[in-house]
Chain A
Amino acid sequence: MNRIERPEQIHPETVTGDSPAAPLQDAGARALRAEIGVNGPEPVMDLRPERGLAHSVHAIKDTRDGFRLFRLGWTLGWLDIKLRYRGSMLGPFWMTLSTAIMVGAMGFLYAALFNINLRVYLPFLSFSLILWGYLNSAVSEGCSTFTGSVGLIHALRMPFSVHVLRVTIRGLLTFLHSAAVVAIVFVIFGIAPRLNWEAPAGVLLWLADMYAITLLFGVLGARFRDMPPVSASVMQILFFVTPIIWKPDLIFIGRQYLLLDPCYPLVEIVRGPLMNQEVRPSIWLAAVAYSGLLWVAAFALFSRMRTRLAYWV
C-alpha cells in the first residue's frame, strides 16, 4: 500500500465538517502529516507466549528500542526533576544548595570529631556523599521504576527500558546538580582528576551499573511491595560499612575484607581517578566482577519477567 496517498483519502472526509477544528485543512500541514504517516515501515506486532530463547531476544530488543527512544527517556527524567521543584524559587538548584549546606556542615563537624585535616577530608567527604546519594537513589527510586509509571504502562505499549532510562537519567541529573558543589570544593582545595583512561572508564562502568541497579530493583519492586523498606535498611547498613564518611586508610585490621562489600569497589573506581588517587588493580578487578554479576542478574530477571510487568503494576 502506498501510504503517501493516505492524506488524500482522509482529506475529503474531514473537510465536510466545516468547524474550525477540522484538521488537515492546510496544505502544508497535510504534507507534514503525510511525512508522519510514512515514518518507518508498517509496524507488525506479533505477540505469543515466550519460549526458550525468546525471553532474552525480546529483552534485548526491548533494551534496544528503549535506547532508540533516548530523547523520550531524557525528557521524562528531566521533566520529573522540573516538576518536583515547579513553583519553588530556586528550582532544581535546591539540590545544589542543600548539598552545599550538608557538605559544609558535615565537613567541619567530622573533621573536628575525627581530628582530620580539612584539606584532605572535605573533598573526600563531599564527593563520597553525593556519589552515595546517587547509588542510594538508584536503589530506592529503582524500586518504583515500574510501579511509578503505571499510567504509562497501562496506556500504551512502549519498551520497558524507557522507564529504566527515565529513572537513571533523573538520578544522573540530580547528581550533576549536586556535583557543582563538589567541583567548587575541588577547585578550592586544588584537586584535579587524573588524566588517563581510568576516569572515563570508571564513570562509564558506574553509569552502566546504575542502569542495571535500576532495572534489577525495578523488576523486584514491581513484584514485591516489600522491596523499598528492605532495600532501604540494607543500604543504611552498607552506608556505614562502605568507606563513605570514613577514609579506607583509617582502618588497618580487616582492610582485606573491604572488597567483600560490592559498593566499595564501585564507588572507588569513580572516586579514586577523579580525586587523583591511585586505584589498586584488585579494586578494578572487583568492580568489573561485581558489575558483571549485576548485569547478568538484572538482565536475566528482566528477560524472565518482562512480559509480567504489565500484569504486576
Chain B
Amino acid sequence: MATIEVTDLAISFPLYHGDARSLKKTVRRSLDGKLSGRFTQDRRERVLVQALKGVSFSLQRGERLGLIGGNGAGKTTLLRALAGIYEPLEGQVLVQGRIGALLDTSLGMNDDMSGRENIRLRGLFHALGEVAIQEIERDVETFADLGPFLDLPIKTYSSGMRVRLAFGLATAIMPQVLIMDEWFMAGDASFRERAKQRMIGLVEGAEILVVSSHQPEIMQEWCTRLLWMDQGRVRMDGPTEDVLDAYLSTAG
C-alpha cells in the first residue's frame, strides 16, 4: 500500500556560487559580511540557503496532494525530496510504493536521443525485460501520439510533444506514487483531458498523487488536499477549498 510519511524535514543548499565554489576559496575560507533570513552558515562557514524547514505531513492511499505557494516557497525542493533525489539533512522521508517523478522539464531525457531511445532507457532503468520494454514503447507511442517524431531526437520536439512523451513515460510504469511539478500543464486542453483520464486510472487505483502548481483551477480540479508552502515552511495544510480560499485572500 502506498504511503508517504514526512517528519520534520529540513533541507538546505550549500551555496558555492561562482568563485565561492572553487578550491581557492575553500582553502582560504574567507567569508565576511552579515547573513540573515534564510541564509545561514554551517560550522565550516559555508553559506547555506534554507530551502525547507520543519516540514511534516503524511499521505495515505487515494490522497491527491497539491503544493501551492509563491516562487521559491520550496515546492520543487519538497517534490525532489519526496522523489528521493535530495536526501534529508534533518528529519525523515518515508515513501512506500513505486515512485514516478515528473520533475524537470528535461525529465532526465537525453536531448540528442530519439524518443524511442529514451523510452528504452527508462525501461532499462526499471530493470524490465525486452518484452516489457517493447510493451511500454507501444503504450507510450499510442498515448503520446508523436507519429514519426518518436524516432527523431527530442531536441526537435515542441514543448507540448515533450510533455506528452514524458507524461506517457512516467505513467507507463504504473507508479503507485506520482510526483509532478507544475510545468506538465504545458500541454493543450485535449492533452490535459487525456492526461486526466490516464491519471484517474492511477490515482483512483488507491495510489498517491503529489502535484505542485500556481494555478488554483488545476488544484481545484486535481487535488483533495492542499499544502500551502511559504518560505520553506508549511503555512497551512487542509482540504483544497479551505486552503485555497485562505491562499487566494492573502495573494489577491
Identify the A interface with B (CB < 8 A).
1, 6, 9-11, 13-14, 16-17, 19-24, 29, 32-33, 35-37, 39-40, 42-50, 68-69, 71-72, 75-76, 79, 83, 86, 151-158, 223-226, 230, 307, 310-312
Contact = CB atoms under 8 A, between A and B. Distances in A.
Q: Shortest 8 CB-CB distances between A and B: which pairs?
A: A155-B108, A17-B197, A157-B84, A72-B124, A10-B201, A307-B87, A152-B108, A48-B92
B160 interface: no
B97 to A, nearest CB: 6
Nearest to A48: B92
Interface in B2-20: 2, 13-14, 16
B208 interface: no
Given A47-B94, A69-B124, 20 more contacts: A11-B201, A20-B145, A21-B145, A33-B135, A36-B126, A36-B132, A36-B174, A45-B84, A45-B94, A48-B91, A68-B127, A71-B127, A86-B112, A151-B107, A155-B108, A157-B99, A224-B26, A225-B22, A230-B23, A310-B87
Given A36-B135, A49-B88, A156 B173 contact: no
B124 A155 contact: no
Given A32-B132, A46-B94, A79 B113 contact: yes
Contacts of B131: 32
B125 A158 contact: yes
A164 to B, nearest CB: 15
Interface in B121-173: 121, 124-128, 131-132, 135-136, 138-139, 142-143, 145, 172-173
A32 B134 CA distance: 10
B110 A155 contact: no
Interface string B36-54: 0000000000000000000
Contacts of A40: 127
A47 B88 contact: yes
A42 B97 contact: yes
B200 interface: yes
Nearest to A80: B110
B89 A29 contact: no
A13 B138 CA distance: 20
B85 interface: yes
Contacts of A23: 139, 142-143, 172, 198
A39 B108 contact: no
Contacts of A6: 174, 205
B135 A9 contact: no
B51 to A, nearest CB: 10
B113 to A, nearest CB: 6
Nearest to A40: B127
A33 B201 CA distance: 13
B174 A83 contact: no
Contacts of A35: 132
Contacts of A10: 174, 201-202, 205
A72 B121 contact: yes
A307 B23 CA distance: 20
B85 A154 contact: yes
Contacts of B194: 17, 19, 21-22
Given A9-B204, A23-B143, A43-B97, A37 B174 contact: yes
A156 to B, nearest CB: 5
Contacts of A68: 127
Contacts of B98: 42-43
Contact of A44 (B16, B91, B96, B143): B96
Nearest to B166: A155
Which of A35, A42, A48, A68 is the most central at the interface, judged by chain B CB atoms within 10 Å of its CB?
A48
A113 to B, nearest CB: 38
B1 interface: yes
A11 B198 CA distance: 10
A151 B109 CA distance: 7
Contact of A14 (B97, B104, B172, B198): B198
Contacts of A36: 126, 128, 132, 135-136, 173-174
